[in-house]
Amino acid sequence: MDHSGFLRHQLFIFILFFFIFISTSYAPSGWEQTAATSIPDINTLTEQEKAEGWLLLFDGDTFKGWRGLGRSDIPKGHWTIKAGCIKKIPSGDVRLQSDGQPLQGGDIMTRETFTDFELKFEWKISRAGNSGIKYNVSEEMSVSHPPESAALGFEYQILDDDNHPDAKNGENRTAAALYDLIAPEGKILKPVGEFNTGCIVFKENHGEHWLNGIKVLEYDLKTPLMEELLRKSKYAPIKGFAEKRSGHIVLQDHTDAVWFRNIKIRKLK
């Protein structure tokens, strides 16, 4: 037997285990502290945001300030709050009533209306999922057109571009688009399961959509271009659709799972 080789092997094993012991004994505490402090608070406002006039639309725990479109409550079984997020439960997972019929779903909206504003939010979508955030929404107009539980308004599209078939119907139906009207440009979309940051600016007749810090589109109402886009869209038959109003902010029930958090708004003068 080569005793020197055996001793070298044993020494190597001892050194290896010594470093493993040191790393597991001392690294986690510091790492955990770093990790804990690096995770930003969600559904809160900083002092600077408060000074700038930002308001939370979602407190992280309740549906305070929200209700279903055309109803006084939240559609039971379809929407929930989990891990600091408003979550749309996939319609296929919604429990049935005692008579075997499904619970009625529908979009949910802010009780308050807004005219000129900047809206920020974070969202993530399920695989092959589809949803949206709508604004400039008239509840009266929405419930007068079928389906009564779906809002009519400008829509910031939320989509799994790679796996949902709507993405194949045009770039103006992909994530961050002004749905069925204007396609986003230069966007960087995070993978399914990760949160994206969105922003909508709507002041007077000017609108902007932002995705992950990039302005991906802008538009102006009452221009020949916008009138042409509206004429070619699904909204063409809806009288008064594009009129500027004090409208609700709406989270869309499009049957698929979607998560929203850090929803905040500031009114623009």
- Mean pLDDT for 114-129 is 98
Which pLDDT band, with edges at 50, 70 and 90, does 95 fall under?
confident
129 with 183, same domain: the answer is yes
154 with 191, same domain: the answer is yes
User: Rounded CA gap, 17 and 43, in Å?
Assistant: 44
Query: How many domains does the chain fold into?
Result: 2
Classify burial at 155, counting beta carbons within 10 Å of its beta carbon; exposed 0-12, middle 13-18, buried 19 or more: buried
Under 8 Å between Cβ of 231 and 97: no
87 with 212, same domain: the answer is yes
13 with 77, same domain: the answer is no
Which pLDDT band, with edges at 50, 70 and 90, does 20 fall under?
very low
Q: List, as one string, the DSSP characters of 183-196.
A: ---S--PPPTTS-E
pLDDT over 90 at 215, yes or no: yes
Determine the pLDDT at residue 80: 97
149 with 32, same domain: the answer is no
- Residue 260, number of CB atoms within 10 A of its CB: 22
- Report the DSSP pairing between strands 258-267 and 55-56: antiparallel
What is the tens place of the pLDDT at every residue in 138-184? 999 999 999 999 999 999 999 999 999 999 999 999 999 999 999 99
pTM comes to 0.84
Determine the pLDDT at residue 23: 41
Range of the domain at 151: 47-267
Structure tokens at 72: 């006084």
